[in-house]
């Protein structure tokens, strides 16, 4: 989880959303995220200019040490947003989206 926090830049955005209900509790209960970031639902994304999308991508707790391709659930596109940055770290894909004017 430290690697995830280290890769999120509050200078770029302190807004986070994710779509994986299996891990909602895990992320939202991590104190550093609760303290420093606002977690929103996908329905609220359009209310923000820049947002981070966090996706559990083939987590080791499920797939072990296998090197697998990106999961479909992590290939998110948002209407009226462009991808500014993609970061792949162990267990996660992190994407910074920015609203298109």
**What is the tens place of the pLDDT at every residue in 10-63?**
779 999 998 876 665 566 666 777 788 888 988 999 999 999 999 887 665 455
pTM exceeding 0.85: no
Confidence band of 93 (pLDDT split at 50, 70, 90):
confident
Alpha-carbon distances, residue 81 vs 18, 28, 42, 77, 98 (angstroms): 16, 24, 13, 8, 5
Please give the average per-residue pLDDT across 65-78, as a whole number: 74
Please give the average per-residue pLDDT across 60-74, as a whole number: 62
Integer Rg of the chain from CA:
13
Enclosing domain of residue 73: 2-99
Q: How far apart are CA 8 and CA 85, in angstroms?
A: 11
Q: How far apart are CA 99 and CA 4, in angstroms?
A: 23
Counted domains in the chain: 1
């Amino acid at each position: 989880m430290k690697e995830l926090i280290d890769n999120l830049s509050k200078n770029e955005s302190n807004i986070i959303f994710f779509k994986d209900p299996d891990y909602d509790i895990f992320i939202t209960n991590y104190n550093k995220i609760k303290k420093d970031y606002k977690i929103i639902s996908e329905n609220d994304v359009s209310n923000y200019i820049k947002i981070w999308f966090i996706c559990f991508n083939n987590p080791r707790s499920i797939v072990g040490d296998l090197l697998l391709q990106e999961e479909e659930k992590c290939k998110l596109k948002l209407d009226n947003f462009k991808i500014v940055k993609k970061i792949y770290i162990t267990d996660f894909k992190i994407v910074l989206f920015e609203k298109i004017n």
